[in-house]
Amino acid sequence: MSRVLDKATALPEILRWLKKMSPGECLQLLTWKRDRYLSINKQSAQVFFVQERGFSEQDFEVTPDKLRKLLKTLLRREFPRSNKIRTKVYVQNKENYQ
């Protein structure tokens, strides 16, 4: 599934999607040119693995209560002049998530 979101309203919608996702699914947030992205993998109900690939390349493992603040910071850093954010949802290799 792919959609384009307004950056101003993206965070609440992203958090809603992540809450509904099952373990093993991944949400990818891309710039319009697709040269930078954030990838959020739901490993379990209490653990999210966030990859930042763009201006900075970092990996984070966070709980749902810290996810909102982290995403807000990363969206500001990786999408500074963007008005639109592309999204893509896909399933990771299910062998890793049992």
Q: How many domains are contained in the chain?
A: 1
97 lies in some domain: no
Give the domain extent around 31.
2-91
CATH code where residue 71 lies: 3.90.70.20
87 lies in some domain: yes
76 lies in some domain: yes
Q: Given strand 2-6, what is the order of strands in its sheet?
A: 2-6, 84-91, 25-30, 37-44, 47-53, 57-62
82 lies in some domain: yes
What's the CA gap between 8 and 82, in Å, rounded? 10
Q: 55, 77 in Cβ contact below 8 A?
A: yes
pLDDT at 2: 85
74 lies in some domain: yes
43 lies in some domain: yes
pLDDT at 93: 63
42 lies in some domain: yes
Q: Please give the chain's pLDDT, 98 residues, in tens.
A: 789 999 999 999 999 999 999 999 999 999 999 999 999 999 999 999 999 999 999 999 999 999 999 999 999 999 999 999 999 998 976 544 43
Give residues with Cβ within 8 angstroms of 49, minimum separation 6.
40, 41, 43, 59, 60, 61
98 lies in some domain: no
Amino acid at 2: S
